[in-house]
Amino acid sequence: MKNSIKSFSKARSRSSKKNKKILSIADKTIIWSEENFKDFKFLFSDSSKLNLEIGFGDGILLFDQSSNNPDESFIGIEVFETGIANTYSKIIKSNLKNLKLIQGDVAQILSKNKSKKIFDLIIILFPDPWPKSKHKKRRLLKSDFFIDLQSLLKKDGKIIIKTDWQDYAEEIIETLNKLEHKYDHICESNDLKEFKTKYEKIALKENRLINKFLIPSIGQSSSK
């Protein structure tokens, strides 16, 4: 995947000495770096259901899902050290066997991967909206990225995306329509009983609607 434009800001990647120490001695079979990553197939050799969360932030949802679904396998990608270190510490403390982490730029990680049709579910929650017009080119969810994600989905797989930024949601709709990818789109309110991330709670507290997209693998049907 050719993408020299970063979808994240390095200024946000500051990490405490504690986090750096955790990562320096971390089990390399649990945490993979962007440099050492080769292919998703090397992380789990056999899994009935494989899930991927891109940009998992504090890792609360990722850890919750992997803890509550021990028969499924989970992979999380995050560029910032704090989320990686905190989630890794939870994995070790709970002796969790079905969750592995990759630290780095998702665009570079996907460009290294050769496996196709491997994931049942891909989740992207509240990607950086880069709200200023001059920065919108940094947004992660562009046409090429959606094409790459579709290549990773199994026949009955799906992608779930959430954003509280209306302009970003409109751009996603425009992109998916141009690609002729089917999708379901709803605006969620605080009434819905579903796991909510830290950013989702903040958005709802500030009365921002949550745009949720459910995108099936190519060939599946949807209401769109």
Please list the active-site residues.
128
From CA 92, how far away is CA 149, in angstroms rounded?
Answer: 29
How far apart are alpha carbons 18 and 34 in whole angstroms? 21
The edge-to-edge listing of strands for the beta sheet with 119-125 is 31-33, 99-103, 73-78, 50-54, 119-125, 153-163, 210-216, 184-188
Q: In whole angstroms, what is the distance from residue 113 CA to residue 41 CA? A: 9
Comparing C-alpha atoms, which of 104, 12, 169, 134 is closest to residue 75?
104
Which of 77, 185, 178, 170 shows the shortest CA–CA distance to 124?
A: 77
